[in-house]
């Protein structure tokens, strides 16, 4: 019985170590993807100002630097 408990504890320790490793690995990938997205710069379709894609407003595949530019171009299209 003690051998079974010993191997069970070893299995649990290995599982928890593997799980911790995977969580850190996934978190680092998410941080890497987020940092890449912050550096992608897009140009405003109305005024031409460059802003990070994460801060830009998107409408019909075009990016805008602020809500006012996004809404003003929307009303011109209609």
Range of the domain at 73: 40-78
Query: For the segment 55-72, what is each residue's pLDDT rounded down to a tens digit?
Result: 899 988 899 999 999 887
Per-residue model confidence as pLDDT tens digits over 27-54: 888 887 776 666 788 999 999 999 988 8
- 3-class secondary structure, 35: helix
Reported pTM: 0.48
Same domain flag for 4 and 30: yes
51 and 65 in contact (C-beta within 8 Å)? yes
Residues 45 and 33 both lie in one domain: no
Tell how strand 62-64 and strand 57-59 pair up.
antiparallel
Residues 23 and 50 in one domain: no
What is the predicted pLDDT for the residue at 70? 87
Please give the Cα distance from 61 to 45 (Å, whole number). Answer: 10
If DSSP codes are grouped into helix, strand and coil, which group holds residue 59? strand
């Amino acid at each position: 019985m003690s051998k079974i408990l010993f191997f069970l504890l070893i299995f649990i320790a290995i599982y928890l170590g593997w799980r911790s490793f995977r969580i850190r690995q996934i978190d680092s990938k998410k941080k890497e993807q987020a940092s890449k997205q912050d550096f992608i710069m897009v140009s405003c379709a109305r005024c031409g100002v460059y802003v990070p894609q994460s801060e830009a407003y998107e409408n019909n595949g075009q990016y805008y630097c602020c809500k006012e530019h996004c809404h003003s171009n929307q009303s011109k299209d209609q």
